Amino acid sequence: EGRTMGNANLEAERTIAYEIGLQQAVNDQVAVNVTVYHKDFRNLLGIEQLTTVDNIAYQRYVNRDYGASKGFSLEITKSGGLITGGANYAFSFSDGSSSDPNSLELINTAISIGGDSEVFAERRILPLNWDQRHTFNAYINMQRKDNWSVGLVGYMYSGQPYSPTFVERFDLSDREYRSLGNKPVIWNVDLKAKKQLKFFGLKGSLFLKVDNLFDNLNEENVFSSTGRADQIARLPEVAKLLVQEIQGRGLLTLKETDIRPHFFSTPRKLQLGVEWKF
């Protein structure tokens, strides 16, 4: 029981894509690029669970899922001169019937010898796990050839979907609120600087690299009860029992037990070094 079976009748996944773009040079240093696109993904793999008349359950892969992605992007770049850089903004929708090909949709079926299975399934088109409505990227670089350079790279994008839960309502199905919440905005800036050096006829450079320049702790994962990485909602009576249990152990506070370091992005990282060419 519970085995996942193959399916010789699977069809090939199919992607239908439409895209139109425009590239325009404003002058000899500045260019603009606009792209509009739409993609359909059909016959995506999923898993269904079947039960025979002998009450034997098994799973099999089927072509059941669908997805779509659409949006536009606007990019501006500058090249040449002391300062170079660019910026890109994208607005997009990514919706579909499932984000995971191995997710299980419970289906009640009855199979007779030589007969076909009768399938009962409910599918809804929801935001996919990687749906990201707004995405902004930018970079800027200043340099003197064979002397020094300083560059910044940054990004900001809207939070991806999560499925909220409600601690005070046990009668509400989690399925009804799947992918209806959004995580907080994510942003980051990195810096890299380099100074060319000469020492005893050898060429080298002194470099500084800083990841997460502003030490921003992005909330990459969140508690489903609050939509935040540093807050968890509990019923008062549940919180009281937990406090009593933790105090009995005498190790941590309730707030400390709620800390999830892996819910946050990596903090600031600084690298300073020297390179020599022989």
> Residues 132-144: pLDDT tens digits?
999 999 999 999 9
pLDDT tens for residues 243-255? 888 888 877 888 8
What letters, b where the CB count within 10 A reaches 16 and e where it falls short, cover 242-274? eeeebeeeeeeeeeeeeeeeebbeeeeeeeeee
Better pLDDT: 77 or 63:
77
Give yes or no for residue 23 having a pLDDT over 80.
yes
Structure confidence at residue 36 as a pLDDT band (50, 70, 90): very high
Q: What is the bridge-based pairing of β-strands 57-78 and 4-5? A: parallel
User: What pLDDT shows up at residue 175?
Assistant: 66
Helix, strand, coil percentages, rounded to 5, for the chain: 10, 50, 40
Task: Flag whether the pTM goes above 0.75.
Answer: yes
> Of 15-19, 34-38, 170-174, where does mean pLDDT reach its minimum?
170-174
Q: Band of the pLDDT at 216, cuts 50, 70, 90?
A: very high
CA pair distance 91, 71, nearest whole angstrom: 5
Distance CA(198)–CA(11), nearest Å, equals 63
Quick check: 102 pLDDT over 50?
yes
Tell me phi and psi for residue 164, to 5 degrees: -70, 150
How high is the pLDDT of residue 174?
A: 63
> How far is 61 from 114, CA to CA, in rounded Å?
20
Q: How confident is the model at residue 166 (pLDDT cuts 50, 70, 90)?
A: confident
Find, among 32, 34, 17, the residue nearest to 70 by Cα: 17
Name the residue with tokens 């990485």: 229
